[in-house]
Amino acid sequence: MKRLAGWMLSTPATLAISLFLIIPVAATISVTFSEPEGLFVPYSAFFDSAFQRTVLWRTFEVAAIATVVSVVFGLLTAYVVSRCPPWMKSVLIVLAVFPLLTGVVVRSFAWLIILGRNGILNNFLQWIGAIERPLSMLYTQTSVIVALIYIFVPLMILVLIGVLENIPDDLLQASSSLGASPTATFFQVVLPLAVPGLIVGAVLVFTASFTSYATPHLLGGSRQMMMGTFLHQRAMTSFDWVSASTVAAIMVVVIVTTVLVMTRLARRLNPMAS
């Protein structure tokens, strides 16, 4: 009876996931296997192209760097916030997640104003005499990475604060009473217990960065094309639906594989994450 009730409760969610997620993704991937020349011809064409391989590698590299930096900054910030008094903690959490209230397009466009040749950063560097001519900072891989970090660090902080708040103060006090320095306590007590939050945050940041469209489009342009912008170009400019579906399928495979690898690695590093 309990099993029947469980199935009845899970059926609506299962149907919704199947209807709005599994079936559309399966339909998109099935298009790539409908070519008369052969089942894997679209994938062979993708990987035979040096340009398309470069786009895939650039996307993976940008997403990986943005994830690593977001994890570092997010963990340190969340740890400081979690150790603050309650009144200060509330203020800091609001300040940390406030950027999430603004759309991704708006936050990405702000970096055009900051990094432009006549932008805030160039004007400041010229004003202090650090440079004579404006630097070309837009439409580079660095500008895309910086913007993605800015966009997704608040998400990482939000995920980690809840995890770090649940670490008992008794453990930290015990570590200190046994002679461990604050640094040793952080790496030997806090960091292992924060692994589940790090996994969730890293997966969210990597997935969002790898599939991002607005930020690479605004700050990378055609010079630093990534998989999201390449997919849009194939679908909406070239109207090559098979190629666009191939790009989408490769993105799905890369994301799923990365998530599985990260989860398995985390379980080996920390049995508590399993």
Residue 25 domain-assigned? no
Residue 139 domain-assigned? yes
Residue 207 domain-assigned? yes
- Which of 32-36, 101-105, 248-252 is predicted least confidently? 32-36
Closest CA to 32 of 244, 255, 181, 272: 244
Which residue type sits at 73? F
Provide the pLDDT for residue 61. Answer: 95
Q: Does the pLDDT value for residue 6 go beyond 80?
A: no
Provide the pLDDT for residue 273. Answer: 43
Q: What is the value of pTM for the model shown? A: 0.86
Provide the pLDDT for residue 137. Answer: 86
Residue 12 domain-assigned? no
**What domain range includes position 47?**
39-273
Count how many domains the chain has.
1
Distance CA 152, CA 70 (A): 7
When pLDDT is averaged across residues 83-104 and rounded to a whole number, the result is 84
Provide the pLDDT for residue 271. Answer: 46
Distance CA 232, CA 220 (A): 14
Provide the pLDDT for residue 4. Answer: 64
Write out pLDDT tens, residues 63-75. Answer: 999 999 999 999 9
Q: Does the pLDDT value for residue 270 go beyond 70?
A: no
Assess contact for 113 and 122: CB atoms under 8 A.
no
Residue 21 domain-assigned? no
Provide the pLDDT for residue 33. Answer: 76
Residue 153 domain-assigned? yes
> Which pLDDT band, with edges at 50, 70 and 90, does 172 fall under?
confident
CATH code, 129: 1.10.3720.10
Q: How would you write the chain as a 3-class SS string? A: CHHHHHHHHHHHHHHHHHHHHHHHHHHHHHHCCCCCCCCCHHHHHHHHCHHHHHHHHHHHHHHHHHHHHHHHHHHHHHHHHHCCCHHHHHHHHHHHHHHHHCCHHHHHHHHHHHHCCCCHHHHHHHHCCCCCCCCCCCCCHHHHHHHHHHHHHHHHHHHHHHHHHCCCHHHHHHHHHCCCCHHHHHHHHHHHHCHHHHHHHHHHHHHHHHCCCHHHHHHCCCCCCCHHHHHHHHHHHCCCHHHHHHHHHHHHHHHHHHHHHHHHHHHHHCHHHC
Assess contact for 227 and 55: CB atoms under 8 A.
yes
Residue 180 domain-assigned? yes
Q: Does the pLDDT value for residue 274 go beyond 50?
A: no
